[in-house]
Amino acid sequence: MNSDSDLQIAGDILEVPHLLQAPREHPATVAEFAGLARSVAADRSQWEHLVRYDATSRWYHRLRTGPGYEVWLLSWVPGQGSGQHDHGPSSGVLTVLDGTLTEHTARGTRALTAGAQRVFAPGYVHEVVNDALEPAVSLHIYYPGLTEMPMHTPHCEARAVPGPVTA
């Protein structure tokens, strides 16, 4: 009698070469891009010596590239921000390496401390600001590589002004 319960695996299934996937040299999924960012964050020797702080503008350095993607290192002194923007056709992973950054979106505000990650799709509008008292460093991975960063004007919220009610 054959049934699903009659199936037995003989030997070590990991020895069956056609069932194993070869490790990829470059990330191809969201999870792999987030994993790449975490591994770079964990190895300070890859980035710490490169960081510069500029009081006049955000500092940035392209750390590496791969097929279709770019990895950027940014530093933020207190008060510096990105302005409200999106990343055109690129998806991305933002990882805070040091310090605290604040992300503002239409859905609210979120403090991002060292180790925090944000994954976003094309068209995701946000503003990132260092409103802490210490500098911050972040890692940004874009796929495809960043070709545009359209700026957005903040929307003014309509506020009701109390006044007399007339009939």
Return averaged pLDDT per consecutive 10 residues of the chain, 167 residues in all.
Answer: 59 61 82 95 97 96 96 98 96 98 96 97 96 98 95 61 37
pLDDT of residue 115: 96
Distance CA 114, CA 112 (A): 7
As a dihedral over the C-alpha atoms of residue 105, residue 137, residue 62, residue 22, rounded to 10 degrees, the angle is -90
Contact yes or no for 76/136 (Cβ under 8 A): yes
Distance CA 13, CA 98 (A): 43
Domain over 24-143 is classified CATH 2.60.120.10: yes
Binding residues: 85, 87, 126
Binding residues for Fe cation: 85, 87, 126
pLDDT of residue 8: 62
pLDDT of residue 126: 97
Whether pTM > 0.85 for this model: the answer is no
pLDDT of residue 154: 75
Distance CA 100, CA 161 (A): 36
pLDDT of residue 160: 37
pLDDT of residue 159: 35
Across the chain, where does the E strand assignment appear? 59-66, 69-76, 91-98, 100-105, 108-113, 117-120, 127-129, 136-143
